[in-house]
Amino acid sequence: MKYEAVKNYYDGNFYESVSTESLDVVSPIDGNHLSKVPMSGVEELNKAVESAKNAFPKWSNTPIKERVQVFFKYRYLLEKNFEELTALVSEENGKTWDEAKAEVEKSIELTEFACSMPQLVSGEILEVSKGVECRTEHFPLGVVASIVPFNFPLMVPNWTMPNALVLGNTMIMKPSELVPLSCLRMAQLLKESGLPDGVFNIINGGREIVEAICAHEDIEAVSFVGSTKVAKLVYQQATHNLKRCIALGGAKNHLFVLPDANPSMTASNVTASMSGCAGQRCMAASAMLAVGNVDSIISQICDEARKIVPGKNLGAVISKAAKERIENYITEAEKDGAKILVDGRGAIVEGKENGTYVGPTVIDYVKPEMSVATEEIFGPVISIMRTENLDEALRIENANPYGNAASVFTQSGGAARYVMEHASAGMIGVNIGVPVPREPFSFGGWNDSRFGANDITGKSSIEFWTKLKKTTTKWNPEAGINWMS
Ligand code: NAD
């Protein structure tokens, strides 16, 4: 075991879990045993919530301009420890070095946004009638929770933690049991940044902890990022217990490719989108709608895909089970009559035979009812469906229950505008494979890709992590009195 057993973190200290149940943490790169993670019990969650509850009054009463100072320091420490964090993300998640590096860079950008919060959250004031003023102020909610997935061990925790804390909340984080190490390192850096004890806490575990978070009477709000199946459960449980909740789910992102698209730009964007992070991104291109004759672009996509080599410029998928699931999808599509143009099944990396790799895969002549067309595969696979026109392509995209992202590749402004208007997704790209809105814009899909009213990052997150107080004042004894005053 390369690292010591994963601990829980609360009251500013790391505690060995009292649970006897644990899971191995294995690197997808080579199958090496990295650590073990405890399946903590509810008593441990209760202690962490107590710690967050005790820390809340002082932290929430600290002026926001002082709270952000901790995050300026945290940002500095992310940069100072850049290489080490990159290595950790890559090791526990299986990403390539460049992908892990981008994840640390994005975590820095998210922290920078949180540091700008004082500029964004000042309230409003207006004289609403003679001598009568209304003003608004954002107040933190209290103890909040963040439940995160395996695919971005550092970035997704940084979607929620810096904004929620800068806005005055205290937090319990539940990392993915598959990749708990980056989160733990994050806690160490926050402590080094001077974050008061109890403001940020981590409890490791699985379903039992998630259910206990959704039921805990001292937790005010729950944010969740993960699969749609679990997002629905978390949203139902948390809101049933009268908590505020945002739950982001899975995705099936469609790319519309039109015959007038720039061929080389389209081919490289489509390929990078479907294979980046081994296809384990909720923004990954997973289905391509070939509108009319785009054969030459498809052939260039295949050429680009063949340049992507597992273990070199393509990372591993998270586990043996994931590899098996992805390969089964490809086999099923083949049996159902689709044509495998580039086949990533059976990929093995020399010297890393216990790693879990799937090569880039391009499947053509997929029918809209096949499982590779409708379901999230979460691997480096693109399913191409042929359509005669844009409306037929839009009908296929609209019928899919997910709605995270969609992109169109064309040189026609009118066609691009038509897709922007009619695609049923929360994040739209024009000539871009991964249309992630960067700060200060907010991140969040539609339909089964997001439950709850707000987005999770950017300006929209302010509404999620705070409640608005409206105060009406009248100091002028001569001010008139009417039915509204
Ligand atoms: P997951 O749903 O399996 O797990 C997410 C979290 O929920 C983990 O912390 C896990 O411990 C917990 N969990 C798992 N099963 C549970 C259950 N039955 N009850 C309660 N809690 C449970 O997701 P994952 O496999 O870790 O992550 C991949 C998924 O996340 C993909 O579907 C991907 O699209 C999605 N994702 C979505 C976004 C987005 O912004 N929409 C971003 C990243 C990942």
Question: Could you read off the pLDDT of 150-186 as tens digits, one per residue?
Answer: 999 999 999 999 999 999 999 999 999 999 999 999 9
Give tens-digit pLDDT for 373-414.
999 999 999 999 999 999 999 999 999 999 999 999 999 999
149 with 176, same domain: the answer is: yes
**In this structure, what are the phi and psi dihedrals at residue 199, rounded to the nearest 5 degrees?**
-70, -35
What are 125's strand-pairing partners?
A: 135
Q: pLDDT at residue 476 above 90?
A: no
268 with 389, same domain: the answer is: yes
**What per-residue confidence (pLDDT) applies to 480?**
77
203 with 273, same domain: the answer is: no
284 with 219, same domain: the answer is: no
118 with 262, same domain: the answer is: no
Closest-lying ligand 1 atom to the alpha carbon of residue 150: 26
Give tens-digit pLDDT for 226-280.
999 999 999 999 999 999 999 999 999 999 999 999 999 999 999 999 999 999 9
**What per-residue confidence (pLDDT) applies to 39?**
98
435 part of a folded domain:
no
CA–centroid distance, 331 to ligand 1, in Å, is: 25
Q: If you average pLDDT over residues 48-70, what whole number do you get?
A: 98
How many other CB atoms sit within 10 Å of the CB of residue 292?
Answer: 15
**What per-residue confidence (pLDDT) applies to 58?**
98
The CATH number of the domain holding residue 417 is 3.40.309.10
280 part of a folded domain:
yes
CA–centroid distance, 250 to ligand 1, in Å, is: 8
Q: Report the nearest-CA residue for atom 17 of ligand 1.
A: 207
Q: Which residues contact 483 (CB under 8 A, 6 or more apart)?
A: none
**What per-residue confidence (pLDDT) applies to 313?**
97
The CATH number of the domain holding residue 131 is 3.40.605.10
Q: If you average pLDDT over residues 210-221, what whole number do you get?
A: 98
Closest-lying ligand 1 atom to the alpha carbon of residue 248: 41
Range of the domain at 65: 8-250+444-470
438 part of a folded domain:
no
Q: Report the nearest-CA residue for atom 11 of ligand 1.
A: 206
State the Cα–Cα distance between residues 138 and 329, nearest whole angstrom: 47
Q: Report the nearest-CA residue for atom 20 of ligand 1.
A: 207
Substitution candidate for ligand 1 out of 156, 225, 448 with most atoms within 8 A of CB: 225
| 449 Cβ inside 6 Å of ligand 1 | yes
CA–centroid distance, 148 to ligand 1, in Å, is: 7
243 part of a folded domain:
yes
**What per-residue confidence (pLDDT) applies to 290?**
98
246 with 258, same domain: the answer is: no
481 part of a folded domain:
no
State the Cα–Cα distance between residues 214 and 446, nearest whole angstrom: 22
| 376 Cβ inside 6 Å of ligand 1 | yes
Summary mean pLDDT of the chain = 97
pLDDT class for 331, splitting at 50, 70, 90?
A: very high
220 with 104, same domain: the answer is: yes
**In this structure, what are the phi and psi dihedrals at residue 382, rounded to the nearest 5 degrees?**
-120, 135
Substitution candidate for ligand 1 out of 227, 280, 456 with most atoms within 8 A of CB: 227
Q: If you average pLDDT over residues 442-456, what whole number do you get?
A: 97
**What per-residue confidence (pLDDT) applies to 176?**
98
Active site amino acids: 282
| 59 Cβ inside 6 Å of ligand 1 | no
| 190 Cβ inside 6 Å of ligand 1 | no
Closest-lying ligand 1 atom to the alpha carbon of residue 404: 41
pLDDT class for 479, splitting at 50, 70, 90?
A: confident
For residue 241, give the amino acid letter.
Answer: N
Q: pLDDT at residue 64 above 80?
A: yes
Q: pLDDT at residue 297 above 80?
A: yes
**What per-residue confidence (pLDDT) applies to 348?**
97
- Say how many domains are in the chain: 2
230 with 322, same domain: the answer is: no
pLDDT class for 483, splitting at 50, 70, 90?
A: confident
**What per-residue confidence (pLDDT) applies to 368?**
98
CA–centroid distance, 363 to ligand 1, in Å, is: 26
**What per-residue confidence (pLDDT) applies to 481?**
81
Substitution candidate for ligand 1 out of 228, 236, 282 with most atoms within 8 A of CB: 282
**What per-residue confidence (pLDDT) applies to 399?**
98
Contact 210, 241 (CB under 8 A): no
Substitution candidate for ligand 1 out of 151, 222, 402, 446 with most atoms within 8 A of CB: 151
| 455 Cβ inside 6 Å of ligand 1 | no
| 319 Cβ inside 6 Å of ligand 1 | no
pLDDT class for 1, splitting at 50, 70, 90?
A: confident
Closest-lying ligand 1 atom to the alpha carbon of residue 226: 30
476 part of a folded domain:
no
259 with 197, same domain: the answer is: no
478 part of a folded domain:
no
CA–centroid distance, 160 to ligand 1, in Å, is: 15
Among 247-251, 431-435, 476-480, the minimum mean pLDDT is found in 476-480
321 part of a folded domain:
yes
380 with 240, same domain: the answer is: no
Give tens-digit pLDDT for 104-156.
999 999 999 999 999 999 999 999 998 899 999 999 999 999 999 999 999 99
127 with 186, same domain: the answer is: yes
**Diameter of the chain measured on Cα atoms:** 85
265 with 296, same domain: the answer is: yes
Q: Report which of 224, 217, 109, 215 is spatially closest to residue 464, judged by C-alpha positions.
A: 224
Q: pLDDT at residue 20 above 90?
A: yes
| 225 Cβ inside 6 Å of ligand 1 | yes
| 317 Cβ inside 6 Å of ligand 1 | no
pLDDT class for 482, splitting at 50, 70, 90?
A: confident
Write the secondary structure of 306-329 as one string of H (helix), E (strand) and C (coil): HCCCECCCECCCCCHHHHHHHHHH
Closest-lying ligand 1 atom to the alpha carbon of residue 174: 9
